[in-house]
Chains A and B, each alone.
Chain A
Amino acid sequence: MGVEGIGARVVRKEDRRFITGQGRYVDDVKMVGMSYAHFIRSPHAHAKVKGIDSAEAMKMPGVIAVLTGQQIVDDKVGNLICGWAITSKDGSPMKMGAWPAMAPETVRFVGQAVAVVIAETKNQAKDAAEAVVVDYEELPAAADIKAAIKPGAPQLHPEAPGNIVYDWHIGDEAAVKDAFSKAANVVTLDLTNNRLVPNAMEPRAAIAHYDQAEEHYTLYTTSQNPHVARLVLSAFYNIAPEHKLRVIAPDVGGGFGSKIYIYPEEMVALWASKKVNRPVKWTGDRTEAFLTDAHGRDHVSKAEMAFDKDNKILGLRVKTHANFGAYMSLFSSAVPTYLYATLLSGQYVIPAIYAEVIGVYTNTTPVDAYRGAGRPEASYLVERMMESAARQLKVDPAELRKKNFITAFPYQTPVIMAYDVGDFHASIDAAMKAIDYAGFPARKAKAKADGKLRGIGFSCYIEACGIAPSKAVGSLGAGVGLWESAEIRVNPVGTIEVLTGSHSHGQGHETTFCQIIAERLGVPISQVSIVHGDTDKVQFGMGTYGSRSLAVGGTAIVKAMEKVEAKAKKIAAHALEASESDIVIENGEFKVTGTDKSIALPMVALAAYTAHNLPEGMEPGLKETAFYDPTNFTFPAGAYICELEVDPGTGKTSFVNFVAADDFGRLINPMIVEGQVHGGLAQGIGQALLEGAVYDGTGQLVTASFMDYSMPRADDLPSFQLSHTTTLCPGNPLGVKGCGEAGAIGASAAVINAITDAIGNNKLEMPATPDRVWHAIHG
């Protein structure tokens, strides 16, 4: 490795603009003649829209237009789509109601837009919105899963009787029944996976501009995947054909999944920009983020695990109800099915698995993929089950896990996934050593003497990243391919631009991707630029989510580089009058191996563009493209152990130590990888201790601000102790797996397992607030 190559802890190239206030986020962009949008949103969870009176609002200063849901329907703007078709057990397709960008007739969650005011200033738009009178006829609401599936529940969509979107299953029901009939012990567990609000620190925003002369739209948007946004806006929402629509996602202040989707506000901004013939800007406030960004998780599950007399797992049976909210968001259907149930084997040999998943509509904000997306729910279930089983079977939780670990790879689970590689013993051993597991009983005894309840909890997670291959996900119902593209442009002076379809919104691509180039060519990273986030610059890309950027996007860069290098070697061999096979690349030079003859990259590049002396028949230029479709998922895995103390008097939890031993394959920039893990751990701990979206019985979101929804803050969290074990991913040339979501996937179970260990009561739901913990201790 060079000082800036693979494995180097290079400080980030992008940081200078962020630490000096020069980042350029959507709300920082201004356009000449810009107007401002403010949405009028339903205060009711379920209601008929009887009428909208905007006469007074139109008379107010600065008001340009008040546009309603009926107008957007009249203009034939398409309804929002769900891009992954799931088929129920009985063979029927999933049952979905229509989701218009603004509701013309019925609102189904608090915060759903019914109209938008466009005005000269933001304040004028807000003032005028106060004067718009919407006549609602309130309807009874179903605010959670239980309320939505009971007989006589309010019905959200006529297309989905009983509020059931689908009743899906996976695995072998008969084999599981057989396994349970032979069981020496059965462990059962009822779990709720609490609903989370993403809360990227930058609220969503959009600026739409319509160029009348060119009939061309430009959209600045807070997106993780601008090309997918353009595709969907074109193909499904009829805003404009793709060549007449440019989508730019500049600096984006965090995504975590919530900025994958194409939301009503972007659609309305584009549509309105043509209607009023002015650029239209919308910037959400935090309350709007709470009410309208797709939420995450929200499962209610029942699980049973069968063990033989030697404590080997025989089978797992799971029934999960998943809350989808009021509408099916873009990838929502896939989250509790192919991103959840397919990971229920965890790190273990489980000969038989059967899972049923019932998707349910409720009068709440739509739910979709969020920071782990299905995998945290699976990991939490499996790892709480293993800890519960260890307690019931009276064996050490580490030993029970070790006894059941998968050790031979590749390993085909009963639920689709084929794990390619891993070493689960290595991770748990590293974590146990780091936390001094052997010394725990003494530490617990000492804590007891001090009046504290000390506990330790494990979580051995596995996840699937770089979701692929396209053909396979297509056969499972995905509406898109999941490859990535890269284009490498070597300029005539030898500087390099890498155009990628991945999108960075905190991940550090501008550094990591440069390191891949630096490793291959031996050039400094200052000579390389990463270009992303603009559909006019990058031809196409699938964006960043599911920890896919390096495994898929990075590999596309490698593939394009291989083509660039092959051509450059030909040029160098021609110039040096050597055989192409004798050319090696070192420190930015093309050398004839075993000689002192060499030619520097800029001279090769210049030769490619002057084209004065190229090999016979070679095209000028030095630019190559690759589209890379992976052959399999990647499977990051690891072991987390949490040690904490509970104050029995207050129920308050304090961390003693949190260790993580992750296997992400090869690390390109360990500093960035560690940062990704820290953030994920904070999310997992936040879910375990603090966070939870609360709706009241009428469907009002009670936790709709940072005053009410408990975000993890610096003093809620410990410093983390990280380490890595390594098995290289055989599925891509970099050997990388993905690290963005691991912490969020693995941490929650470790925390709850530690608290339940400390208090000696396994019945504890997330978030384990002091109130809940106190009641779990004292009954």
Chain B
Amino acid sequence: MSTVKLTVNGKAVSVDVEDRTLLVHLLRENLNLTGTHVGCDTSQCGACVVHVDGRAVKSCTMLAGQAAGSNVTTIEGLAKGDELHPMQAAFRDNHGLQCGYCTPGMIMSAVDIVHRHGGKLDEETVRQELEGNICRCTGYHNIVKAVLDAAGRMKVAQAAE
């Protein structure tokens, strides 16, 4: 057992976990942040994507201990109170989700994609960048639309700040 100290969604936490505990399990089991999902056991599906120090990470690929001292944002920490993040709003407005299971990971990946590419996003780039997130419901059509829509909204939001 080890004590892992990290910041999750802006809050400092200290958790005692077995050394083999993965970050996703720390979030789900110890912190009850069940919005981050597990969809596979080979780091392929992306349902578990969170942000670690501002970068998208598959939280099933990282030991909890490796996240010690990090600043972790999960899907629960993305909105500002009642105000949805533009990516969340774009997923809703473009019907970019159906069963919702892959959605948190999709949204967290998508935010990272927009951050990395800025205004240079096109459909092909979005499709390539989403390669690590699997959805079985939507055929990706509306997810791609949502990401492109959000990229525009995020640019506007950034310009306003």
Contact = CB atoms under 8 A, between A and B. Distances in A.
Interface of A: 11-12, 14-25, 27-28, 30, 123, 199-203, 251-254, 256, 285-287, 505-508, 671-672, 674-676, 678-683, 705-707, 711-715, 717, 719-720, 743
Contact of A707 (B39, B44, B138): B44
A651 to B, nearest CB: 21
Given A20-B35, A202-B37, A506-B100, A672 B18 contact: no
B42 A675 contact: no
Nearest to B101: A253
Contact of A714 (B18, B75, B97, B144): B144
B2 interface: no
A253 B100 CA distance: 6
Contacts of B28: 27-28
A657 to B, nearest CB: 14
A302 B103 CA distance: 42
Closest 8 CB pairs of A and B: A21-B35, A253-B101, A18-B100, A682-B139, A506-B99, A506-B98, A706-B44, A21-B75
Contacts of B104: 18-19, 21
Contacts of B16: none
A243 B47 CA distance: 37
A705 B42 contact: yes
B60 to A, nearest CB: 11
A285 B44 CA distance: 13
B20 A123 contact: yes
B64 interface: no
B96 to A, nearest CB: 9
B136 A201 contact: yes
- Which label, helix, strand, loop or mixed, suits the secondary structure of the B interface? loop
A508 B137 CA distance: 12
Contacts of B76: 20-22
Nearest to A685: B139
B131 interface: yes
Interface in B9-43: 18, 20, 28, 32-42
Contacts of B84: 19-20
A579 B135 CA distance: 55
Given A15-B92, A23-B100, A254-B99, A200 B133 contact: no
Given A715-B131, A719-B144, A16 B37 contact: no
A303 B101 CA distance: 40
Given A675-B98, A705-B40, A707-B44, A717 B140 contact: yes
A15 B99 contact: no
Contacts of B42: 286, 705-707
Interface residues of B, number: 56
Determine which residue in A23, A24, A680, A743 has the highest number of CB atoms from chain B within 10 A of its CB, and name it. A23
A61 to B, nearest CB: 11
Contact of A19 (B37, B88, B126, B134): B88
A575 B41 CA distance: 63
Interface in B106-161: 107, 123-124, 126-128, 130-131, 133-144
Nearest to A30: B32
Contact of B127 (A253, A681, A714): A714
Contacts of A720: 139, 141
A367 to B, nearest CB: 18
B18 A123 contact: yes
Nearest to B126: A714
Contacts of A123: 18, 20
Given A18-B97, A715-B130, A679 B36 contact: no
B74 interface: yes
A712 B133 CA distance: 10
Nearest to B75: A21
A506 B97 CA distance: 8
Determine which residue in A19, A28, A674 has the highest number of CB atoms from chain B within 10 A of its CB, and name it. A19
Given A25-B34, A28-B28, A678-B142, 16 more contacts: A20-B84, A21-B75, A21-B104, A22-B35, A25-B101, A27-B38, A30-B32, A201-B37, A251-B99, A253-B101, A253-B102, A287-B41, A675-B137, A675-B142, A683-B136, A706-B45
Given A19-B107, A508-B98, A705-B44, A256 B88 contact: no
27 contacts: A14-B100, A15-B91, A15-B97, A18-B100, A19-B103, A20-B84, A21-B35, A22-B35, A23-B103, A25-B37, A123-B18, A201-B99, A201-B102, A202-B37, A251-B99, A253-B102, A506-B100, A675-B98, A675-B142, A678-B141, A678-B142, A679-B138, A705-B42, A706-B40, A711-B134, A712-B139, A717-B141
Nearest to A200: B136
Contacts of B139: 678-683, 712, 717, 720, 743
B50 to A, nearest CB: 10
A203 B95 contact: no
Contacts of A508: 98
Contacts of B144: 714, 719
A316 B18 CA distance: 64
B134 A706 contact: yes
Given A713-B130, A714-B131, A505 B99 contact: yes
Given A15-B91, A707-B44, A201 B39 contact: yes
B39 A679 contact: no
